[in-house]
């Protein structure tokens, strides 16, 4: 019955109702999948469904000028989550964390990805609300190796879902976690005893496991929503894509009555290879459904070469579009950087070179961008 309801709502172009009951969720997702003939609205991306066709891989995707009929959006609740004027902050602290429950853990990279990344859904029962762009802290079980007797230190993870969560009911949070694997520098072999404590714990966790969380934390990556027609340029390496998944779901997937996005979201993603692409299925769907509002450019460092013959990094993609990016920044666009700390020097160098070629001072431009709150950085 719920299948049929969901299907008829979708075909009429209305929003899709999703209940909070688990069995209803499953059946509604199934119906959506059948109707949309892809799985991009599913809460997680099963490995076998990742796009591996090479589409989007060798050239950038530029938005087309064809106006698309608006795609059906998913109804979310409780809408009160959109009422607050200030973001929630540090509701739970390391001394008194919230005990949440793992809902699912899915490996979301293909077999040839150099490393493992998991999409983890956590049930917080609506008790640890957050806004898109914030992070949760996770306290892994066990003793702090540096302080015997004390619990492990908290680790931060960017939230990869919207405030409504992957089940659209405001009760879950999703994280995108890369397992920190330690390779012995002499043998080059993995030494699991030195692998990262928290990322291993998270990627090994099972549905039903309890997990201690803190937060939500952070304001720097909040999506400014005062102007729904603004431009947002989002730059990520690896798991740095997490906050952007949240932004983009809010912009293009969810029916949020108080936020109707009509601007431009431009995502630049740097990952190792095709198998390392994260959430590609849902981003590709936005490109199809909202070609005037979404752009998506990918640098595959181990498959593409830059114009100097080196690895294609995300900053090389930025350089390719630097004229447009500078114009958008001059027009007030927000620019976000999230992911590897190591990307920032290369990105700054690229932007400085471009500015100089344009006869501008990068230092002045950067300080203006910071002053105008257009510059958002979260790297780790
Ligand atoms: P740790 O146990 O802290 O170890 C760190 C590193 O040291 C590992 O690489 C490990 O292999 C190595 N190591 C451990 N023991 C030894 C040893 N004896 N000798 C040599 N090396 C050793 N990460 C994500 O995956 N996704 C996110 O979305 C994300 N968001 C973040 C947001 C913010 C704001 C910040 C600050 C960080 C974020 N991180 C994210 C990083 C995350 O917080 C952790 O730092 C990361 O998961 C590693 O933690 P860990 O406990 O697994 O590793
Ligand atoms: P590489 O590892 O080939 O040198 P992933 O999580 O899939 O590994 O993605 C991280 C991406 O960031 C990879 O493509 C990685 O390239 C790339 N990367 C590594 N160092 C830098 C850097 N200094 N600047 C920009 N990108 C980087």
pLDDT in tens, 120-172: 999 999 999 999 999 999 999 999 999 999 999 999 999 999 999 999 999 99
pLDDT of residue 10: 32
pLDDT of residue 62: 34
Tell me the mean pLDDT in the region 221-244: 98
Using alpha carbons only, give the angle 43, 48, 52 rounded to the nearest 5 degrees: 105
The pLDDT of residue 329 is above 70:
yes
Share of the chain above pLDDT 90, in %: 81
350 lines ligand 2 (CB under 6 A): no
pLDDT in tens, 103-113: 999 999 999 99
Asked if residues 285 and 327 have their Cβ atoms less than 8 Å apart, the reply is no
The CA distance from 36 to 59, in Å, is 26
- Residue 5: count other Cβ atoms within 10 Å of its Cβ: 16
Whole-prediction pTM value?
A: 0.87
Asked if residues 362 and 317 have their Cβ atoms less than 8 Å apart, the reply is no
pLDDT of residue 215: 98
Of 121, 322, 316, residue with least CA distance to 208: 121
CA 117 – ligand 2 centroid, Å: 14
Whether 158 is a known active-site residue: answer yes
Cβ neighbours for 89, distance < 8 A, ≥ 6 positions apart = 216, 217, 219
Tell me whether the omega of the peptide bond preceding residue 191 falls within 30 degrees of 0, making it cis. no
Share of the chain above pLDDT 70, in %: 82
Tell me whether the omega of the peptide bond preceding residue 356 falls within 30 degrees of 0, making it cis. no
Nearest CA to ligand 2 atom 21: 343
pLDDT in tens, 30-89: 333 323 233 344 444 332 333 333 333 333 333 333 344 568 999 999 999 999 999 999
Q: What is the dihedral of CA 168, 172, 178, 182, to 10 degrees?
A: -170
pLDDT of residue 13: 37
The CA distance from 24 to 31, in Å, is 11
pLDDT of residue 71: 80
- DSSP label of 7: H
| Residue found by looking up tokens 């090994």 in the block | 204
The pLDDT of residue 252 is above 80:
yes
270 lines ligand 2 (CB under 6 A): yes
Tell me the mean pLDDT in the region 176-205: 95
CA 231 – ligand 2 centroid, Å: 25
The CA distance from 201 to 198, in Å, is 5
Q: How confident is the model at residue 17 (pLDDT cuts 50, 70, 90)?
A: very low
CA 118 – ligand 1 centroid, Å: 14
The residue that leads in pLDDT, 40 or 320, is 320
pLDDT in tens, 263-308: 999 999 999 999 999 999 999 999 999 999 999 999 999 999 999 9
Asked if residues 283 and 55 have their Cβ atoms less than 8 Å apart, the reply is no
* b/e burial code for range 178-187 (CB count within 10 A of at least 16 → b): bbbbeeeeee
Whether 378 is a known active-site residue: answer yes
The pLDDT of residue 242 is above 70:
yes
Residues with CB under 6 A from ligand 1: 135, 155-158, 176-178, 180, 182, 194-200, 239, 242, 378, 380
Tell me the mean pLDDT in the region 238-256: 98
Nearest CA to ligand 2 atom 2: 272
- Pick the ligand that lies closest to the CA of residue 315: 2
Best mutation site among 110, 235, 270 for ligand 2 pocket (most ligand atoms within 8 Å of CB)? 270
């Amino acid at each position: 019955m719920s299948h049929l309801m969901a299907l008829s709502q979708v075909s009429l172009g209305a929003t899709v109702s999703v209940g909070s009951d688990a069995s209803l969720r499953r059946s509604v997702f199934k119906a959506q999948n059948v109707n949309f003939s892809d799985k991009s609205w599913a809460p997680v991306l099963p490995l076998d469904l990742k796009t591996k066709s090479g589409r989007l891989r060798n050239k950038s995707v530029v938005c087309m000028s064809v106006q698309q009929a608006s795609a059906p959006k998913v109804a979310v609740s409780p809408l009160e989550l959109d009422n607050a004027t200030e973001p929630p902050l540090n509701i739970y602290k390391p001394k008194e964390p919230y005990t949440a429950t793992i809902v699912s853990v899915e490996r979301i990279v293909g077999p040839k990805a150099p490393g493992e990344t998991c999409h983890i859904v956590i049930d917080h029962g609506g008790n640890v609300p957050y806004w898109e762009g914030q992070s949760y802290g996770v306290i892994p079980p066990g003793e702090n190796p540096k302080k015997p007797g004390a619990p492990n230190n908290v680790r931060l993870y960017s939230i990869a879902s919207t405030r409504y969560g992957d089940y659209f009911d405001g009760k879950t949070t999703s994280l995108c976690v890369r397992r920190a694997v330690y390779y012995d520098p002499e043998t080059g072999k993995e030494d699991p005893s030195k692998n990262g404590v928290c990322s291993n714990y998270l990627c090994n966790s099972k549905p039903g496991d309890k997990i201690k969380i803190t937060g939500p934390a952070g304001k720097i990556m909040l999506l400014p929503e005062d102007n729904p027609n603004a431009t947002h340029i989002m730059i990520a390496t690896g798991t740095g894509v997490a906050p952007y998944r949240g932004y983009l779901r809010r912009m293009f997937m969810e029916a949020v009555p108080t936020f109707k996005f009509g601007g431009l979201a431009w995502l630049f993603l740097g990952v190792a290879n095709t198998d390392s692409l994260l959430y590609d299925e849902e981003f590709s769907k936005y490109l199809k459904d909202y070609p005037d509002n979404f752009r998506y450019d990918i640098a595959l460092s181990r498959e593409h070469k830059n114009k100097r013959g080196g690895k294609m990094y995300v900053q090389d993609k930025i350089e390719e579009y630097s004229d447009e990016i500078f114009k958008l920044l001059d027009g007030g666009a927000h620019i976000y950087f999230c992911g590897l700390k190591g990307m920032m020097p290369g990105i700054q160098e690229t932007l400085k070179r471009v500015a100089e070629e344009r006869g501008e001072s990068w230092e002045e431009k950067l300080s203006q961008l910071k002053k105008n709150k257009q510059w958002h950085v979260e790297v780790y």
